[in-house]
Every structure is written in structure tokens, then in C-alpha cells.
Amino acid sequence: MAASFPETAISTERLLLRPLAEDDAPGLAEMMADDLVLAWTDLPHPFTESYAAELARTLAPAHRAAGRGIVFAVTEHLTQRLVGLVELRNTDWRLRSTEISYVTATWARGEGYAPEAVLGVAQWLFEDRGFLRLELRTAAGNTAAQQVAQKIGSISEGVLRSAWIVRGESGEVTEESRSDLILWSLLPEDMENPADQGSGWPGDHRYVLRD
């Protein structure tokens, strides 16, 4: 049987990352209907409530059980509101390496939630699960995702040419076109002094597991 991540939750200063629940379906469908989410991700279009419920009920648990990765719903501690989604995928258990992707709801952008969530997952991976490498891949035009990678101290390793398909960049979804991907990596030693710690950064706050 393939190695797999445990079903767990991760608590950061402002956020709780937990397994998806079927009750998340309406908020998840609303979040994924945003044009920028559709443009930069490979998520289904349209992303319906029915698909969101299936993701929570069947697809995400199967993804975790098969050892491919894990999916977290990101919620605010204060309001319990759905802030975003974080997924680990393409996990290599021999190399102790995995890839992270993240989506933030329109209303929550600009609050530093994405870096906080990704940093919390990285700390959990390195300190609790013994991983040695975390990869991020951002479309060349997706500056917001690139800023997240920079804020958590990731290192840009180069460009994967014509390695992604985008569905538009702003305003509305357009016809598909090919895009370069920027490859970023984060290693345990990179976590010692996260780069570009600006206003609102969670500082030395560490994740807390809630098994």
C-alpha cells in the first residue's frame, strides 16, 4: 500500500486548514467561479456545487488514501468562513517531495492568507512529516501566486517552457492558450529566515496540529 498523509488539521495564527466537508460545497463553488481562479488553474469549468460535494465526499479522500497528496479547506478561526483551498499533489515518498497549489477567495485576497496557509503546510511537512522539498509552479502571468512564493522564502529555479494551459487572465475566461511555468522550491533550511517579511506577517507563529 502506498504511503499517505494522515487525515489532520493545521492551525495557524488566523486560519484552520482542515479536511473538506460536504457543507463546504456552496462556498467552494462560489469561490471557484471567479474568473482568475478559472484562468490560472486546471480546475473543472464550470465548478458546480455537485462537483464540490463529490470532491469533499469521494475525490479528496481518495487522493489522500492513494498517497498522491492531500486537500485542505482553509477557514478563518474568527468567522469559520471559507478562505481558500490548498492541495498537495504529485507526492514522491522516496524523495520526500511534493507540490503545493493554492486558491484564495476573492474577498480574502490582499490579507496575507495565502502565504500564511502555505507556510503552515510547509512547516507541517518539514517538521512533522519529514519532507525535504516543497515545489510551487506558477504561470508566468500569475503575479499574485509568484508573490506568495516569494513571501514564504521560496527560490525560483527556472522556467518550464510552454508547460501549462491558461484560460484567460482577467475580466472573463477566454480561449485556452499555452503558458510557461515558473518553478519554485522551498527546503527546510529556507524556513529559518523567510524572505520579505512585511506588515501582517505571522512572524514566529508555528502551526498546531489538530488530529
**Cβ within 8 Å of residue 86, ≥6 positions away:** 17, 71, 72, 74, 100, 101, 102, 117, 118, 121
Condensed to tens digits (0 to 9), the pLDDT of residues 126-157 reads 999 999 999 999 999 899 999 999 999 999 99
pLDDT at 201 over 50: no
Residue with cell 484564495: 104
Q: Which of 19-33, 43-57, 132-146, 159-173 has the lowest mean pLDDT?
A: 159-173
Phi-psi group of 67: left, alpha or beta (phi > 0 → left; psi -120 to 50 → alpha; rest → beta): left
Which residue from 165, 112, 123 is spatially nearest to 142, judged by alpha carbons? 165
Query: The C-alpha cell of 103 is what?
Result: 486558491
Checking if the pLDDT of 51 tops 80, the result is: yes
Distance CA 84, CA 73 (A): 6
CA–CA distances in Å: residue 92 to residues 89, 96, 140, 147: 9, 6, 25, 26
> Rounded mean pLDDT of 162-180?
73
Query: 197 pLDDT exceeds 50?
Result: no
- Tell me which residue of 15, 8, 11 sits closest to 129, measured CA to CA: 8
pLDDT in tens, 95-109: 999 999 999 999 999
Average pLDDT, whole number, for the chain? 88
Residue whose C-alpha is closest to residue 203's, from 145, 119, 146, 95: 119
Q: Which of 180, 65, 189 is nearest to 131 (CA)?
A: 189
- Note the pTM of the prediction, 2 decimals: 0.86
